[in-house]
A and B are shown apart, each in its own frame.
Chain A
Amino acid sequence: MDLTRLEINRRTALLTSAAIAANVINPMRAFAQETPKKGGVFNVHYGAEQRQLNPSIQASTGVYIISGKIQESLVDLDADGKPVGVLAESWESSADGKTITFKLRKGVTWHDGKPFTSADVAFTAMNMWKKILNYGSTLQLFLTAVDTPDPQTAIFRYERPMPLSLLLRALPDLGYISAKHLYESGDIRQNPTNLAPVGTGPFKFVKYERGQYIIADRNPDYWRSGAPYLDRIVWKVITDRSAAAAQLEAGELQYCPFSSLTISDMARLGKDKRFIVTTKGNEGNARTNTIEFNFRRKELSDIRVRRAIAHAINVPFFIENFLGDFAKLGTGPIPSTSTDFYPGADTPQYPYDKAKAAALLDEAGFKAGPGGARFSLKLLPAPWGEDISLWSTFIQQSLKDVGITVEIVRNDGGGFLKQVYDEHAFDLATGWHQYRNDPAVSTTVWYRSGQPKGAPWTNQWGWEDKQVDATIDNALTELDATKRKAIYAEFVKEVNTELPVWMPIEQIFVTVITAKARNHSNTPRWGSSSWHDLWLSA
């Protein structure tokens, strides 16, 4: 890989202010004075079709990328990453944190003409978020009722205190509202509306041709006057990454979201003036690469071995040579993009030190045998991305240098989850931890004991730590935002010390978009957002 060339691209891709160079920021300034133009078709790459499209019952970017334009959430994040009302206009929490009241927007109608009211909110929260929605069912575990004194007020009642800041961080993803009148009869999962979503958003669903495309058109009655600008959005189902890059270049696509192209194509297109390649607009979709340890292996239950493994891997070298501009050194489970919770790098870290790794292994009693070998481990990489595959090979080679033989066992998605999180048939596993803006939503389940067997992306390591459990539980009911941040800093310290999972790489999804797009990537979860202000210049 040609690193000197990648260097140029690093600047276009990285968010850090020092690195933002002329390529990205200047064109944006230049078009700030342009008058928004109505019209145009926006073609979006859709890599993996989902089984259904309702974001109230499935929290994943594969759903938001489509239905985020059709259905709306109570709140979204603004350009600075602060919660901003969408279907909710204002909110307040009672002093004990057990009652949270949302005032809803007036004059909003569903795409079928019926008015949007608090009844829709209550129905969605109680029947979808609490019962079906992944992550939502955990978040809303202690939600007991949603009262609707009038059509513009929804009062959420909790059995235990719910920190308002946690709820507001979670709701942009886990707060999508569905229409009660379309869902109240029959099984929600089998409702045909799930494949022909009806919402309040700027675009109206038109057609879904499985395996080919989805179309949504401008909603002329949208509540934000003048919006949206685009006439139509088309999502094209293209499973082959290289083919998607080719279609982008042929002008048949305008946007490839969430790192949907190969690393080499993204690096190449970053040098092409027709496209913008950036991580901006995806800060809300940060992820970390993991090394997950199975404590059922006696070697790995020894903390010195886990630390030795962390020390044995030269992460900066890997990032520089394989991931280039699209990743940075991680410091634990809370990524640096999470301004509200990032505790800094002042927690236990494991910089590359081969001698120290060897010494730790010796100390643990795993002396090098003939040929330098100490013991062997089975590593299961998740199949989600090119980076994981490269990373697993890198782990294998790094550990070989300190005498640990690693056998890589590859699986497809279902197989990986089953073997790691249900059958525990792994020694080491590696994949992504997807951070969802608040550790309580996405992260603490990786460490809290008592996770039921088979729940993916949870603590299935055979590891339990009473102190960590207590810290996690404290944060869950702490209403004061500053104190919560401090508790999570403590949490990171504890888990970085114990190291049941090591998260040494941070990544943000990469956007590849036509240079003609305006008002793009302007919020931390832009790919999932409603695109009501997106327009295309001539």
Chain B
Amino acid sequence: MRILSLAGRRLAASIPTLFLILIGVFLLLQFAPGDTVDALMAQMGGGDAATARELRKFYGLDVSVPVRLGNYLLHLVQLDLGFSSIYGKPVATVILERLPPTILLMTASLSFAFFFGLVFGIIAARGVNKWPDTLISTLGLIFYATPSFWFGLMAIVVFSIYLQWLPAGGFEDIGQAQSGLWRMIDIARHLILPTLTLGLIFLAIYLRIMRASMLEVLNLDYVRTARAKGLDETRVVMGHVLRNALLPMVTLIGLQAGTMLGGSVVVESVFSLPGLGRLAYESVVQRDLNTLLGIVFVSALLVITVNFVVDLLYARLDPRISAEG
């Protein structure tokens, strides 16, 4: 019950923020030259003025900006995200179709980055300034400095073109329709390279944070006490150090959930995945305001949810931080 009321309060607090964000994006897009009809004309390779006028009416662009904003917000409070002009479908449907690949990719690469960041961070911290630490830190720096599109393309060249182990792009095999377990395996195969590409940069960050945080905690008095009790090193690390060292890592997850949604535009484009990032990019180029606002709305909800879970995790990791506080 306590959790529910906390969730309720958090959500209520984020509603004004959400509205401000939406209005901001709406107004920002008004400053971009051209509307969705200009974008459509660009795509068609030309058309006459009568066609353009007709299309503006069709897309509801013949009324003033405040009226359009008002209409949008009015629909939004009724939980109606409006109609997408590029897709000709309700925005909610369009987003729902694109959500699974993004969430799959995001969860997979976050988990990958978190897990390996944790492990490598511990190894590096325990052998600080010895060769495992140097090796891991150097690799981390390389991953961090490599642009993800380049990494993705190189992964395709190596694993898809030369070795032919993994597919070069797409979400699943179009050739044969699969179902159940086989489809899951097929999708997983398609997601290996994108996950690695997106995850490696984050892995670098996680391992640096984990290493630093481990080193800090390892020097605290209670760790010395634990060692003095005669505990072996593994138990010291696992039972005493890890839990406290994890706090900054968990904070980072909360912060990066949002970044990952945005950062996946590049990875989604390189691997031709039908995700939210690409949808957002397309909506901007095509000036599809409803879709873009819908994506902002859904992304904001996702970030709020993730941060809420992170808050709960804090309380679990460190009982001194109460969920009430």
Contact = CB atoms under 8 A, between A and B. Distances in A.
Interface stretch (B6-14, B132-140, B272-280): B272-280
B32 interface: yes
A132 B157 CA distance: 44
Nearest to A234: B174
A41 B274 CA distance: 22
A457 interface: yes
A212 B49 contact: no
Contacts of A471: none
B309 interface: no
A152 interface: no
Nearest to B87: A210
Given A211-B274, A417-B42, A239 B47 contact: no
Interface string B279-291: 1001011110000
Interface stretch (A8-16, A57-65, A221-229, A348-356): A57-65
Given A252-B169, A452-B48, A454-B52, A62 B43 contact: yes
A415 B32 contact: yes
B34 A415 contact: yes
A419 interface: yes
B210 to A, nearest CB: 32
B105 interface: no
B170 A51 contact: no
Interface residues on chain B, size class: 35 or more
A454 B97 CA distance: 35
Contacts, number: 171
B44 A59 contact: yes
Contact of B169 (A234, A238, A412): A238
Contact of A243 (B39, B156, B274): B156
B308 interface: no
Contact of B160 (A250, A413, A455): A250
A163 B35 CA distance: 37
Nearest to B171: A212
A451 to B, nearest CB: 8
A190 B83 CA distance: 12
B98 A249 contact: no
A411 B48 contact: no
B36 A236 contact: no
A184 interface: no
Contacts of A451: 49
Nearest to A189: B58
Interface stretch (A134-142, A319-327, A472-480): A134-142
Interface of A: 41, 48-52, 58-62, 132, 134-135, 137-138, 189-190, 194-195, 209-213, 215, 234, 236-240, 242-243, 246-247, 249-250, 252, 411-419, 422-423, 434, 442, 451-457
Interface of B: 32-36, 38-52, 54, 58, 85-88, 94, 97-98, 149, 152-153, 156-157, 160-161, 164, 167-171, 174-175, 269-272, 274, 278-279, 282, 284-287
